[in-house]
Amino acid sequence: MTNKTVAAPYTDAKVLGAYVSSFYKLKYGREISPIKLQKSLVFLFAYWGAFARKANSDKTIEGEYKIEYLFHNKIEAWTYGYVIPDVHNEKLTEIDFTAVNKDIEIKKFIDDMLNDILAVSDFRLVDISHEDNSWKKNYDPNAKIHNIEVKKEELINEYTAKI
């Protein structure tokens, strides 16, 4: 794999998490669970990264998607799948949502994906994350603390192969 400079991220995971929480509350009339929030963020990250990477490398697709990372926050492999510690430890209610609205194509992608992801049960999302090699490789069931970082390139590469 070649070393490449990754463009600035689209937003911060805390901002995107606040957006996902608000989207869920508007759609379902209740608060999102921590499990659904965490899995939604990571699946959004992985699928957007895969889509952007394929579009960037496919000369037949019109346009260029320089932004492959929705956020740069750390992703870790925990017992119930992926977790973004910055979001896990944050209260997300007082965050400005304008950062999610700055690119209409990315926001449309996020909204479309959220409609699909949020329809899936929490523990089905956990099961899906447990099928990923990037989670399996970084999760140690014997560890007392589960905080091994999942490399973003590894996650995007895995999802690029899936789409």
Does the pLDDT value for residue 151 go beyond 80?
Answer: yes
Residue 62 scores a pLDDT above 80: no
- In this structure, are strands 81-83 and 148-149 parallel, antiparallel, or unpaired? unpaired
Q: How many CB atoms lie within 10 A of CB 153?
A: 16
pLDDT tens digit string along 88-146? 977 665 555 665 666 778 888 999 999 999 999 999 999 999 999 999 999 999 999 99
Give domain limits for the chain. Answer: 13-162
pLDDT for 101: 66
Tell me the two tokens of residue 97.
Answer: 């949502």
Kindly give the residue spans of alpha helices, DSSP state H, lying in the chain: 13-28, 34-57, 85-88, 104-117, 122-131, 133-138, 152-162
| 36 or 52: which leads in pLDDT | 36
Nearest to 17 by CA among 107, 116, 84: 84
Q: In whole angstroms, what is the distance from residue 65 CA to residue 51 CA?
A: 9
**Choice between 5 and 28, residue whose per-residue pLDDT is larger:** 28
Please, what sign has the CA dihedral across residues 67, 111, 63, 98?
negative
Strand order, beta sheet including 76-78: 81-83, 76-78, 148-149
Nearest to 32 by CA among 126, 129, 119: 119
